[in-house]
Structure 1
């Protein structure tokens, strides 16, 4: 008789019925608090502006429509340009960050050199600073370089603030890749660059995708303060400035503001959805010698 018997029962079937109910109630509560701001924002975009200030306040819109999604383009005529600018700035910033972070994270994960801990600590300290603290030095730097009123005035500072946290995130992932792969490649006569390009990069693809998503979201959301400080031309303004245009002197057009917010985040959602498809594909790619 075996001392231990393997239990093939699914994990969810090992709980009692009230435990399963508690698990699903906890999941529902978590999703409710996570998604309720988005649901409320979407419902606000469907309400007429007069209904938003009615008393008592009604959660579900009466005679709701998608009129705000059409009127917003008239309220802010150049809104499509704002969306394009944010998308372009975020894409370029993400590419710059990945080009610098991927080899840097690999170096910090695989090699040991004097002062490495100090450099990593400096990266961590830099990521704790707010962009508002360095606005004046950055403005003088952008003016000296002649980058004011250009896309680069928002791309360079944005990428600089995103690089430290990206290095820490990707370095942690690359440290989990077995060093035996490097040793096996070395025994086969592969150089460091060949090992990095043909062995490590395919395995690190899920981590790189995560860093790309986090960087893109960060670049997409941090453009407001840089745009106000380093830019005065409408043709270079990003999405947050376009959303700010819905705040009038007398009132805020809340329904159109919510509609513009949902329209503005669509490019980011599409990019994130596209990148997530590559997460699973790179989990085991490159682990076997071709």
Structure 2
């Protein structure tokens, strides 16, 4: 028999969840409300969280304030997509190798991956700039794609390696008995079972690539047509004032691609695909 919660325990549980969700969602709710307010209401005294007059003018005017905002959103989506593809292509075989093989220096390499994540991108800007210049990648998409992928690969290897270690080794051995090669086993046996972990890595990589573009774009790029969304949002900061309502509106429109990707891929995030794969 499963013990049922008492009524006051249920109330306390849901109250805790509601409090947690409030602190998580409050900044997004306030940002959305700011996008619906006229600029004059943002500095009124006393300040009102709920708009006195609701208006979607900021969602229309933001395209005029930053004419290339649509291009900035496309650039962010394009850069993040390529970074995600590169990271997944590199991480899948690397994570499988670390999860299945024992070789000299494996622990040292994994420790090195953690050490890389300890460095901020700002610390390496000067050597990265010299590297991008020597490779002729300045003022191109690749100036943001290459360092973006390089900083996200180490943590992705750790994450996917942990997931692949949970896949029973008996599946590999059964494939080898049937004459399958390592590559065939990875492609036909491991990849379908590791798909939830791969999707999680892809989503985290996409979000990370979408969020880290500002410093790389500002340093390695000077052409407006290649600038990502963070640079476009920075344009709402004027010399005399900040157009807060349009900035919030552009921010919410800018995160729509990320939300769409998460909604599309969330059905792959179901755990337990290995259940029943091995006969008991």
Q: TM-score range by the shorter chain?
A: over 0.9
1:27 aligns with 2:17: yes
In 2: Cα distance, 1:286 partner to 1:216 partner: 32
In 2: Cα distance, 1:207 partner to 1:239 partner: 28
1:141 aligns with 2:131: yes
In 1: Cα distance, 2:230 partner to 2:272 partner: 34
1:78 aligns with: 68
Q: For structure 1, which runs of at least 5 residues remain unmatched after alignment?
A: 1-6
Select 1:150's aligned residue among 140, 153, 161: 140
1:4 aligns with: none
In 1: Cα distance, 2:192 partner to 2:233 partner: 39
2:57 aligns with: 67
Moved more, 120-129 or 187-196: 187-196
In 2: Cα distance, 1:72 partner to 1:27 partner: 36
2:233 aligns with: 243
**TM-score scaled by length of structure 1:** 0.94
Q: Residue 244 of structure 1: CA displacement?
A: 0.1
Q: Deviations over 1:181-217 (max 9, x none)?
A: 1111112221111111111000000000000000000
Q: From the superposition, tell whether residues 253 and 286 of structure 1 become closer, same or farther in structure 2 (CA, over 3 Å).
A: farther
2:206 aligns with: 216
1:47 aligns with: 37
Q: For structure 2, which runs of at least 5 residues remain unmatched after alignment?
A: none
Select 1:58's aligned residue among 45, 48, 58: 48
Q: Deviations over 1:145-166 (max 9, x none)?
A: 1000000000000000000000
Q: Residue 272 of structure 1: CA displacement?
A: 1.3
Alignment of 1:166-245 (within 5 A): 166-245=156-235
2:246 aligns with: 256
CA RMSD of the aligned region, Å?
A: 1.5
Secondary structure (helix, strand or coil) at the match of 1:204 reads helix
In 1: Cα distance, 2:258 partner to 2:276 partner: 29
Q: Deviations over 1:52-89 (max 9, x none)?
A: 00010001001111110000000000000000000000
Asked if the contact 1:202–1:285 (Cα under 8 Å) also holds between the matched residues in 2, the reply is: no
* Count of residues in correspondence between the two structures: 279
Secondary structure (helix, strand or coil) at the match of 1:24 reads helix
Q: Residue 287 of structure 1: CA displacement?
A: 3.4
Q: From the superposition, tell whether residues 107 and 179 of structure 1 become closer, same or farther in structure 2 (CA, over 3 Å).
A: same
In 2: Cα distance, 1:220 partner to 1:201 partner: 26
Q: Residue 273 of structure 1: CA displacement?
A: 1.1
In 2: Cα distance, 1:200 partner to 1:67 partner: 51
Asked if the contact 1:46–1:68 (Cα under 8 Å) also holds between the matched residues in 2, the reply is: yes
Q: Residue 283 of structure 1: CA displacement?
A: 2.2
Dislocated runs of 4+, deviation >3 Å: 284-289
